[in-house]
Structure 1
Amino acid sequence: MTTFSEFGLSNNLVQSINNMGFEEPTPIQEKTIPLALEGKDLIGQAQTGTGKTAAFGIPLVEKVSIDVEQIQGIVVTPTRELAVQVAEELNKIGQFKKIRTLPIYGGQDINRQIKALKKRPQIIVGTPGRLIDHINRKTIRLQQVSMVVLDEADEMLNMGFVEDIEAILQEIPETRQTLLFSATMPKPIQALAQRFMRDPEIIKIKAKEITVPSIKQEYVEVHEKQKFDVLCRLLDIESPELAIVFGRTKRRVDELSEALNKRGYSAEGIHGDLTQAKRDSVLRQFKDGTIEVLVATDVAARGLDISGVTHVYNFDIPQDPESYVHRIGRTGRAGKAGLATTFVTPREIEHLKFIEHITKHKVERRSVPTLAEALEGQQRITMEKLLRVIEEEEIHQYRGLAEDLLNETDSVSLLSAALKLLTKEPNQTPVKLTEEAPLRVKKVKTETRPQNKRGKRIPKGNFEQRSRNHSSPRRKKGKSK
C-alpha cells in the first residue's frame, strides 16, 4: 500500500497532508502524483469524488516556489463553485509552505479581484470567461506559469468554453506542464489535448473505482402530482442527516424548497440566479448541518464536494446518464454508504432503462411508501433517540421528576405520551407545485435494443446514435437549468 511519504514530498507538504487527515492516496492520486512530479503532461479520466483535486494540487503546490512572487500555476474550472472549492483545498495543501491560491470567477466584483491579485498569489483558480477578462485587462499575466490544470474539461466543453481555453493556453509559455482531467473523452477534448499537450500520459480510473459501489440506487414509479407527498414520506421514513434533492429547473428548486419549509423541513435551494453571497451562505449552512435538505439544479451542484450527504433524491429524472451519475455521486463519498432515489413517472420508465443500460447498473424498484410507514419511521427514530440518550447522556437529575410522574400514572401511559410528544408526525399541509412535463421519450423499437434477436450486439456507433435520438428531451429555447 502506497503512502504519501513515498512520493518524496517536502516536509511542509507532508505536514499539510497529515493536517488535512489524508491517510493514503486514492487510485487517481497514486497514479498521478509521481508522474506530475516528474514534469510529465497528463490526461486523467476521473470524476468528482475520486480525489483528483489533491491529485493535481499536491504536485502543483510542491513545484511552485515561494520566492517567486508571480503566478506560477493556473487551474481552469467550469464553475465558480468548483473554483472556490479547488482554491480552498490548494490553500490547505499550501498552508505550511505559505503558497497562496486565489479564486477568480464571474459574479464577483472584478475590482475586488484586481486588489487581491496585487498581493501576488502564486496560483490562480479561475473560470474561463473571467480569466479572459483579466488577461485582456492585463491584470493577470501568465508568462511565468509553469503548470496548467484543466479540471472537468468535458464540462467546460459542454458549456461552450473551448475557445476561451484555447485563448488562455496561447498566453502561457509552451514549456509549461499541462494536466487535463475529464470524466469523459469526447473528440473535441482529444483534439485539445493533441494540440496543446506534449506526449501526455493517460491515466484511467476503472469504472469500479469511480461508480462508488456503496451507493444503493432505487426508483419509485409515481405520478407527477404525487411526487411531493412521496418525497416527504421518504424523508420521514429515512430521516437523512444531509440530503440533496435535484430539480430540473430553477423554478422547480424555488418551489420545492419553499414547500419543504411549509412542511416543517429545514431546506434551502441553490441555482444559477442566486447571488454569490447567497449561494455561499446556503452551502455553508448545509455543510454545518443547519440545513438538512439542499434543493439544487444540476448546474448549481457541479463541483460540489460536501462530505456527509447520506441521501440523494432525483425529484425529476435527469436528462442524460452523465447527469445521473454526477447527481448520485454526491452521496456515498469517501467509502461511506449512500442512498440515491429517483422519481420516475410512468412515461419516463423507458428513459430510466436507457440510463440503466449506459451506466450498466440495475436500479431497484421501490414501492410508494404509505402514510402509515412514514409515521412508523418517525416513531422508530424517536425510540432510537430515547435509547441513545439513556446510553450516552447524563439523566440522573431527571429521575426524581420521572418518579413523581409515575406516582400519577402508569409507566406505559407515561412513555407513550413522551413518544407522541417527541415523534414528528407526517405533516400534510397542502402545497402547490407547478407541474412540469415529463421527459418526452419515444418508445424504444426492437432494433434499437443493445442486442438483436440472435443475441448479437448491435454496432456501437449505430446504437449510440439511435440512443441519443431516443433519449433527447424536447428543449425549450432559453430553458433554465
Structure 2
Amino acid sequence: MRKGPRRSTPVRRRHCLHLLGVGRPSPKYATAFTRMAAFAALGISSWLQRACKTLGILTPTPVQRACIPAILSGRDVVGAAETGTGKTAAFVLPILDAVGRDPYGIAAIILTPTRELAFQIAQHVSALGAPIGIREYTLVGGVHELAQAAALEKRPHVVVATPGRLALMIRRGVVDLARVRFLVLDEADRLLDPSYVDDLKAVVGECDSEKRQTLMFSATMTASLRELQEVAMGANAMRFDARENRYATVEGLMQTYLFVPQHLKECYLVYLLKERFEKESVIVFVSRCETAELIVAMLNLLGMKKVAALHSDMKQTRRIEALQKFKGQSVRALVATDLASRGLDIPACEVVVNYDVPRQAATYVHRVGRTARAGKEGIAVSFVTQSDVELVHAIEARTEKKLEKIEDVKEELVMKELSNTLKARQIVKMNLDESGFLEQGDAKREGARKRAKRRKKERSKTSK
C-alpha cells in the first residue's frame, strides 16, 4: 500500500491548475471533469456521482437534467420521455441521495405494473446504492407472503412493488408506510388503468400526503396523467415532456408492416424467423397467453429451439428464466404478451414483431420501444390482417408516422412452410386442449370481464 501523500502527475497537476484559471487542461482529465461536473450541477451527492461513473452513466439525459433538480428541491414531478432515455435513473438518483442523508425507515415506494419491471428497477437501485449499503426489496406476487412479511420487518430503504401485492400487505398490517417520502408510479399511464384503482387507493391512503413527494413517469403522456397531475399533485408540481407528440417513437426505429391473411400468420412468422431475421434477436408480441404458448411449442416442433414464451400464466421462476435467457442471448426469440412491453431494458433486441396488432396506440409505442434503444437502430414489423386496418390507421394518426409496407416478401418461401406449419399447429393445439391450458385461459378472460363489469357499476354508483 502506498504511504504518504500521493504525488500529482504532470498531467493531473496541469488540469488542476486549469481549474484555478491557470494554463490549459489535459484533454483526458478535461473530459472526465466535464462529465462529473454535469452530474454535480444537478445537485446529487459526490458519492452518487462516483457511482454513476462506475456504472458508465457519464452524461445526464434530458429527462434527468430536467427532473433530478426538481425532485431534490421537493417538487412533485410528472415525466414523459421516449423509452431508453434514462427515466429510471431520473427518479432513483434523487431517492438514493435522500436515503444517504436520512437512512431511517422505508424512504420510497416504487410501483410498477409488472413483476419483471419491478426486478429490473430493483437492480438499478441496488447497483447505484451499493456505496452506502442500500437495502431494497422487491415485493411482487408469486412469492410466499410470510417470507415477504419477514423481509419488510427489516425495514428496507426502498420497496419496489406491484400494486396488488403491496395493497395485500397493507390490508394485513404487515407494512408501515407512514415515513415514506417518495411514491413513484413507473409506467404511470398503465397503473392508472381501472384494474389497478382499488390497490392504488390502498397504497396512496397509507402514505402521508404532507410528507410525500409523488413522482410519475411513463413513455406516453396520456390524458389521465395530465388530469391526475391537476387533481392529486401539488400546485408546485413540474411536468416534463420533451416531445411535441405524446405518442412519438424514436428516430432510429424503422416501422413496417406485412399484409397477411389471418390463417397464414404462423407461416409468415416462420418465414421471418427462418429467412428474414435468421440471426437477429426478436420479440414477438401476441395478445393472449395461449397464443404465446401455442407459437413457441409450434416453433419447437418445426426445429426452432432457441425460442421462449413470456406471459402472466407462467410461474415466476419460468418468467425470470425466459427473460434472462433472452437478455443473455441463449434464446433468440421471445414470444410475449404485453407483460414484456413496459419499460424492460433489453439492449440486444433488434426486431419487434406485432403478431397481433394492439388495440391502443400507447401499447404500440411501448412494444416497439423494446428495440432501437439508447440511440441504436431497430425494426418493427406488424402483421396486418383485413380486420386490423382501422387499428393501424389509428396508430399512424397518433404516432404521426406511416408504416412502410414490406414489398419484397418471397411468397414461395412463405408457402413452402405451409404444410408443416399447419400440421405442427394442429398437434400443439390438441396438446394444449388436452392439458386444460386453453380452458384456463377462457375462464381467466371471463373472470376479467366480470370484474371489469363490476367496477363499471361501482363507478357509476359513486358518480351519481
TM-score for the superposition, normalised by structure 1 = 0.75
For residues 188 and 305 of structure 1, what CA distance do their matches in structure 2 show? 23
Is 1:222 paired with 2:260? yes
Work out which of the residue numbers 172, 175, 180 in structure 2 matches 1:145.
180
Report what 1:232 is aligned to: 270
SS of aligned partner of 1:333: coil
Letter of the 2:320 partner, please give it.
D
Evaluate the alpha carbon distance shift between residue 171 and residue 325 of structure 1 in structure 2; reply closer, same or farther with a 3 A threshold. same
Q: Assess if the C-alpha contact under 8 Å between 2:43 and 2:72 holds in 1.
A: no
Q: Deviations over 1:239-295 (max 9, x none)?
A: 343110011211111111112222232101111100111100111111111100000
For residues 224 and 354 of structure 2, what CA distance do their matches in structure 1 show? 30
Report what 1:179 is aligned to: 215
Work out which of the residue numbers 72, 96, 102 in structure 1 matches 2:131.
96
Report what 2:421 is aligned to: 430
SS of aligned partner of 1:7: coil
Report what 2:28 is aligned to: none
SS of aligned partner of 2:195: coil
Q: Assess if the C-alpha contact under 8 Å between 1:233 and 1:370 holds in 2.
A: no
Report what 2:238 is aligned to: 201
After TM superposition, list the pairs within 5 Å mapping 1:153-192 onto structure 2: 153-173=188-208, 174-182=210-218, 183-187=220-224, 190-191=227-228
Q: CA deviation at 1:346?
A: 2.8
Evaluate the alpha carbon distance shift between residue 188 and residue 246 of structure 1 in structure 2; reply closer, same or farther with a 3 A threshold. closer
Structure 2 unaligned regions, length at least 5: 1-33, 427-444, 450-464
After TM superposition, list the pairs within 5 Å mapping 1:408-427 onto structure 2: none
Greater mean alpha carbon deviation, residues 119-128 or residues 208-217: 208-217
Aligned length: 390
Q: CA deviation at 1:187?
A: 4.0
Report what 1:332 is aligned to: 372
Report what 2:454 is aligned to: none
For residues 340 and 373 of structure 2, what CA distance do their matches in structure 1 show? 19
SS of aligned partner of 1:160: helix
Q: Deviations over 1:300-335 (max 9, x none)?
A: 543322111000111111112111111111110111
SS of aligned partner of 1:132: helix
Report what 2:337 is aligned to: 297
For residues 348 and 198 of structure 2, what CA distance do their matches in structure 1 show? 37
Q: Assess if the C-alpha contact under 8 Å between 2:267 and 2:417 holds in 1.
A: no
For residues 156 and 230 of structure 2, what CA distance do their matches in structure 1 show? 27
Report what 2:403 is aligned to: 363
Report what 1:310 is aligned to: 350
Aligned-pair RMSD on alpha carbons? 2.7
Q: Deviations over 1:79-135 (max 9, x none)?
A: 222211111111111111211211111222111212222333111111112112222
For residues 54 and 279 of structure 2, what CA distance do their matches in structure 1 show? 29
Q: Assess if the C-alpha contact under 8 Å between 1:262 and 1:429 holds in 2.
A: no
Q: Deviations over 1:425-457 (max 9, x none)?
A: 9897434447xxxxxxxxxxxxxxxxxxxxxxx
After TM superposition, list the pairs within 5 Å mapping 1:443-458 onto structure 2: none
Identical-residue share of aligned pairs (%): 36
Q: CA deviation at 1:48?
A: 3.9
Q: CA deviation at 1:34?
A: 1.3
Q: CA deviation at 1:369?
A: 2.0
Report what 1:255 is aligned to: 294
Q: Assess if the C-alpha contact under 8 Å between 1:15 and 1:96 holds in 2.
A: no
Q: CA deviation at 1:192?
A: 6.1
For residues 315 and 268 of structure 2, what CA distance do their matches in structure 1 show? 31
Q: Deviations over 1:6-44 (max 9, x none)?
A: 323223212221122112122211111111111211111
Q: Assess if the C-alpha contact under 8 Å between 1:314 and 1:341 holds in 2.
A: yes
For residues 479 and 114 of structure 1, what CA distance do their matches in structure 2 show? 28
Q: Assess if the C-alpha contact under 8 Å between 1:308 and 1:333 holds in 2.
A: no
Report what 1:319 is aligned to: 359
Q: CA deviation at 1:225?
A: 2.4
Q: Assess if the C-alpha contact under 8 Å between 2:354 and 2:380 holds in 1.
A: yes
Evaluate the alpha carbon distance shift between residue 205 and residue 428 of structure 1 in structure 2; reply closer, same or farther with a 3 A threshold. farther
SS of aligned partner of 2:59: coil
Q: CA deviation at 1:220?
A: 0.6
Q: Assess if the C-alpha contact under 8 Å between 2:221 and 2:241 holds in 1.
A: no
Q: Assess if the C-alpha contact under 8 Å between 2:283 and 2:351 holds in 1.
A: yes
Q: CA deviation at 1:157?
A: 1.6
SS of aligned partner of 1:142: coil
Evaluate the alpha carbon distance shift between residue 69 and residue 75 of structure 1 in structure 2; reply closer, same or farther with a 3 A threshold. same
For residues 350 and 171 of structure 1, what CA distance do their matches in structure 2 show? 43
Evaluate the alpha carbon distance shift between residue 226 and residue 34 of structure 1 in structure 2; reply closer, same or farther with a 3 A threshold. same
SS of aligned partner of 1:312: strand
For residues 151 and 291 of structure 1, what CA distance do their matches in structure 2 show? 28
SS of aligned partner of 2:216: strand
Report what 1:344 is aligned to: 384
Q: Assess if the C-alpha contact under 8 Å between 2:126 and 2:136 holds in 1.
A: yes
For residues 277 and 198 of structure 1, what CA distance do their matches in structure 2 show? 43
Work out which of the residue numbers 265, 272, 285 in structure 2 matches 1:246.
285
Work out which of the residue numbers 111, 129, 144 in structure 2 matches 1:76.
111
Structure 1 unaligned regions, length at least 5: 375-424, 435-475
Q: Assess if the C-alpha contact under 8 Å between 1:169 and 1:196 holds in 2.
A: no
For residues 364 and 145 of structure 1, what CA distance do their matches in structure 2 show? 48
